[in-house]
Amino acid sequence: MAKEIHLQTPLKDEDLEKLNIGDKVLITGTVYTARDAAHKRLVDLIEAGKELPFDIKGQIIYFVGPAPARPGMPIGSAGPTTSYRMDSYSPILLDEGLKGMIGKGPRSKEVINSMIKNKGVYFAAIGGAAVVMAQSIKAAKVIAYEDLGTEAIRELKVENLPCIVANDVYGNDLFDEGVKKYRK
């Protein structure tokens, strides 16, 4: 049965081992944003043996390109982008210590296998609820690749950012299970 779990970043293996697909998670702490162009640059740095613009160990990357902030707000609407566009990069980042990813839509078998190997988790954010997601973001600052505009890497301070566990460290897949359940 799904449960509600509060997670604090950075994530630890023992935190993730308690999670099962379908669990509602409220994340508090630091989360980084990155989409495909930023992911490519991160992987290029890793392949060149260079340092990343943030310590990736135990961290979460949210696949989002937020809208500009309104006056007095830390960020604009911040809904998830489709995750499969990051699938070719995610295993490399998981090997470097990334522990969580937030996005929408299913992940490839290669990413799921890498999550099992590295004890990583994929959280689904609710598409179409960008304003709700933004309400959990208390601060945001660009830390890398400002030239990418909305797709620059941001460091977010979040409080009770709502997500659902879509893939757990055991290889379970909420997208597959959901289809099986309703196919009966």
Q: Are 75 and 137 in contact (CB under 8 A)?
A: yes
Residue 123 CB partners (closer than 8 Å, separation 6+): 25, 27, 60, 100, 101, 102, 103, 163, 164, 165, 166
> Which pLDDT value is given to residue 183?
61
> Which pLDDT value is given to residue 13?
97
Q: Annotated catalytic residue: which of 39, 41, 119, 154?
A: 39
What global pTM score does this model have?
0.94
Question: At 103, which helix (H) or strand (E)?
Answer: strand 100-103
> Which pLDDT value is given to residue 177?
80
> Which pLDDT value is given to residue 55?
97
Domain residue spans in the chain?
A: 4-183
pLDDT in tens, 82-129: 999 999 999 999 999 999 999 999 999 999 999 999 999 999 997 667
Considering only the top CATH level, what class is 4-183? alpha beta
* 158, β-bridge pairs: 29, 137
Known catalytic residue: 6? no
Spans of the chain below 50 pLDDT: none
> Which pLDDT value is given to residue 67?
86
> Which pLDDT value is given to residue 133?
84
